[in-house]
Amino acid sequence: MKKRFLFLALLGLVALGLLQTASAQQWYKGQLHCHSLWSDGNTLPELAIDWYRSAGFHFMALTDHRVVQLDSNRWKEAVSALIEESRKKFGDEFTETKEENGKTLVRLKTYQELSDLFNKDGAFHLILGHEQDGNIGGRTMHANAINISEVIPSSSSFPTLVEAMLDWRKGTLENASKNDKVGFWMVNHPNWPYFDITPEVLIEASDVEFYEWNTTSPPRHVGIPPGHPEGTTLWDSIIHPDHPTFEKSWDIINSFRLIQGKKPIYMVASDDTHSYRTFEHNVANPGHGWVVVRSEKLEADSLFTAMKKGDFYSSTGVELKEIRFDAETGTLNVEVQPEENIFYSIRFVGTKKDFDTRARTFEDPAIGSFKPMRIGKAYSGDIGITFHTVTGTSASYQMAPDDLYVRAVVTSSKIPKYRARNKPLTENALTQPYYRPY
């Protein structure tokens, strides 16, 4: 009897521990691509961070180009409005200025100073990172190296994008590892400036775990099309119709990766913020896209460990209450945290195992000096089909035996307050792909 009591007590403690572990996990909202005056952003780093913290974000990384915020003697010209705003929010002593050659310079705050100012356990966490950039064989590649301790080299001397990706990623993860951190590396805006990183590249570079859905940077020209007014693009008449949409590209990559026995690539929505003061059409402003991560702690290592498991979703406004995938039954459950008077639909998307793998090659000719020539591949309609759609705030889908994977797209009726050209017409959220190894 005593042994039975001890066994039941132990079982109860184990169950309690599991419940406590489950309850310890929370959803944290984060931004992993934004800029400041440390590179080509238009605001002071403390004002950039304050924007996101005030908007309800729990974590972020300032990813300025080829620089991490470590130099305590970096000065940069700033307009008086920024200086006044910083002093108003953080005090006269915090915002240091000097006059030089008739210009007002402000000292840019370091990562440590910014962390001391903003970080708060369980409420907000700033992560060190930067953006890499290069041109490989005439193609532009940008990437984010995050949770590192120094600038990670991004050489352009590689013959292929795949080799460059793997080298940049390796440097990031090795730097993090030597400092006992979990490194995070993602390919940025693959369609920028004009479909420079194709699905085929990311199928081959199968070690790459993350790439960016940049909701404010559509493909755009280098110059201005002849005959068009300054600032207009008219891409609807310029983009070749056979180029896949972003979601189609994502499905292409994951369909081919999974039939090759490789892991899928996860999608990270972001702002790539450069402008914090104006909200204009097609300008990279804050608050357009982000990730929400289910993590035990609001710390970089815990957040990125969760993301490497795919335990997060991307959003342009829709908040999810729950995502559950039962690998044994292949059932994906999604529940929305609804807003009043807003309607929702949940669409389950995936590809069948026996999909048509053939692709048709097409040529997208150059147009003058502002649009490069591209050779692309158009894939079958078998890839990325809708399995099931539900109108409402919760839905589930059980994978059929021949489903390769499934992901969910939640679409709301709410129109975004600020909408860039490449952003969906209404707010939405996208889960990561789920699959049963076979």
pLDDT in tens, the chain (438 residues): 444 444 444 444 444 443 334 447 999 999 999 999 999 999 999 999 999 999 999 999 999 999 999 999 999 999 999 999 999 999 999 999 999 999 999 999 999 999 999 999 999 999 999 999 999 999 999 999 999 999 999 999 999 999 999 999 999 999 999 999 999 999 999 998 889 999 999 999 999 999 999 865 555 544 444 454 444 445 556 788 899 999 999 999 999 999 999 999 999 999 999 998 755 545 568 988 999 999 999 999 999 999 999 999 999 999 999 999 999 999 999 999 999 999 999 999 999 999 999 999 999 999 887 789 999 999 999 999 999 999 999 999 999 999 999 999 999 999 987 665 566 789 999 999 999 976
261: left (phi over 0), alpha (psi -120 to 50) or beta: left
pLDDT value of residue 437: 79
pLDDT value of residue 215: 61
CATH fold, domain 26-71+108-431, is: TIM Barrel (3.20.20)
Helix ranges restricted to H, 155-313: 161-178, 199-204, 246-259, 300-308
Contact predicate 106/79, CB 8 Å: no
- CA 188/CA 196 separation, integer angstroms: 11
Give the global pTM.
Answer: 0.91
pLDDT value of residue 9: 47
pLDDT value of residue 277: 72
Q: What angle, rounded to 10 degrees, do the helices at 111-118 and 45-54 form?
A: 30
Domain boundaries, the chain: 26-71+108-431, 72-107
Helix ranges restricted to H, 25-154: 45-54, 80-90, 111-118
Beta-carbon contacts of residue 182 (< 8 Å; ≥ 6 apart): 147, 176, 300, 301, 304, 305, 308
